[in-house]
Amino acid sequence: MSSVVTAEAVVRSALGSDAGHLLIDGEWVPAAAGSTFDVIDPGTEEVVGRVAEAGTADVDSAVAAARRAFDEERWLRLSSAQRGVVLWRVADLLEAKSEEMARLESLDVGMPVSQAKLMVAEAVNQFRYYAGWADKIQGTTVEIGTAERRLQGATYREPVGVVAMIVPWNAPLIAMSMKLAPALAAGCTCVLKPSEEAPLSALALGRILLEAGVPAGVVNIVTGFGATGAALAEHPGVDKISFTGSTEVGRKVVAAATGNLKKVSLELGGKSPVIVLPDADLGAAAAGIAIGVFWNSGQICTSGTRLFAHADIYDELVEGIAEQGRAMKVGYGTDPDALLGPLISQRQLDRVAGYVEGGRAAGARVVSGGKRLDGRGFYYAPTVVADATPDMRIVREEIFGPVIAAMSFTDLDSAIASANDTEYGLAGSVWTRDIALAHRVARRLRGGRIGVNIHRAGGVQMPVGGFKQSGWGRENGPDALEEYLETKSVVMLLDR
């Protein structure tokens, strides 16, 4: 059986006849203009389905449906405990459909099915965690006033209202869950816009939400291109927008949100530093750093793409990371031996290759990889570039591919200063056996999440977000709930 037939079967199994429709007010409907667009399998470059292309009229309908659902309290009329039960049911359904969802996510993005299963498991964790928070959103009380005129003050925590959510293509199921789960726990209604590059898992999640008992209109899904997202960002009926994507687009979202001063939270780009001290366990560091930059073919905003290695261990570590990359099999998502899949598109492949060639032309040395792999699909080899300098574009700009640029240092203060010399501040890591020193370095790095002897770790309990131009606000943990809540003060006269 060809990969195309298998892919079509995956889409048909997960979505039935809903693939070419939008989810608006609990119904699967075609785009008002009848427009659709192709979904491409990045591992084969072949069309595996068509989805609806939402226009302005569809965005208006979705926002109106979310507003009606909020105003009519279709979700809020349930007790907080009942809303938690529904969210837990979403998690159960996701878990029951994990194999199907993993294959769909793999097809959508290109990642190996084995890694897509981890994505599904984390999405399950998101809904279970916030199911537990749904009945624990609390205000405070305080006595105020004078002895002669006693007052009772109270704060209520209330949902912000209608939330527009725009998610990227690199890990869509997790990105959607990180927004939907806390927003629903807070009592909001939502309009979700997935990336045009990977829209399938959003539609499958929409089916699960309805099956779990999320009322009509509480979650609406519009598929489309940048114009669809722009219409959401500027829509006067939206109270808040939560965006994950590039810093460049994030700035546009902020500008669009000024029309009605809607609240904004952003998780944006990164250029995360990795600092390795001479006492580090080099074998463990090489393996951990390779996973931290090459996993999901480098298409993760927290990837550790700038390596600062002490001169005493620089050559050995660089070669160790390169060797790790060479050993990683790059292949189609259903290949059980594949550790890395393709990049998402030809455009992304050209972008990554252009950065590597630019670094080579600027004087950097390509130690491993540095080329597109033969055959169909958008595959690029894991790449280590040595002898980079801080002024190179390959060091300063987000590549979003399996590429790490290495630099050496002798003075730790200078390395930390170089690590912080970026417009980004999303993540980072430090590698050393000296835990006290590791904590001191972690405190000095300007990033939202710092690993010690590990680059990318955490989970739904740990807040993530950016410093500087890597974003506003936090996702995960109790902090994420705050992004979807308003505080209302109520003062009551007790004595007449």
- Give catalytic residue positions: 267
Residue 46 burial class via C-beta count within 10 angstroms: exposed 0-12, middle 13-18, buried 19 and up: middle
Residue 341's nearest CA partner among 3, 113, 174 is 113
SS3 of the chain: helix, strand, coil, percent, to 5:
40, 20, 35
For residues 152 and 132, what is the distance between their CA atoms, to the nearest angstrom? 30
CB of 353 closer than 8 Å to CB of 380:
yes
For residues 299 and 123, what is the distance between their CA atoms, to the nearest angstrom? 18
Structure tokens, 137: 């959103």
Q: DSSP characters for 72-139?
A: TTTTTTS-HHHHHHHHHHHHHHHHHTHHHHHHHHHHHH---HHHHHHHHHHHHHHHHHHHHHTT----
Residue 472's nearest CA partner among 260, 240, 299 is 240
CA angle 475, 164, 174 (to 5 degrees): 40
CA angle 388, 394, 397 (to 5 degrees): 135
Residue 221's nearest CA partner among 190, 183, 181, 188 is 190
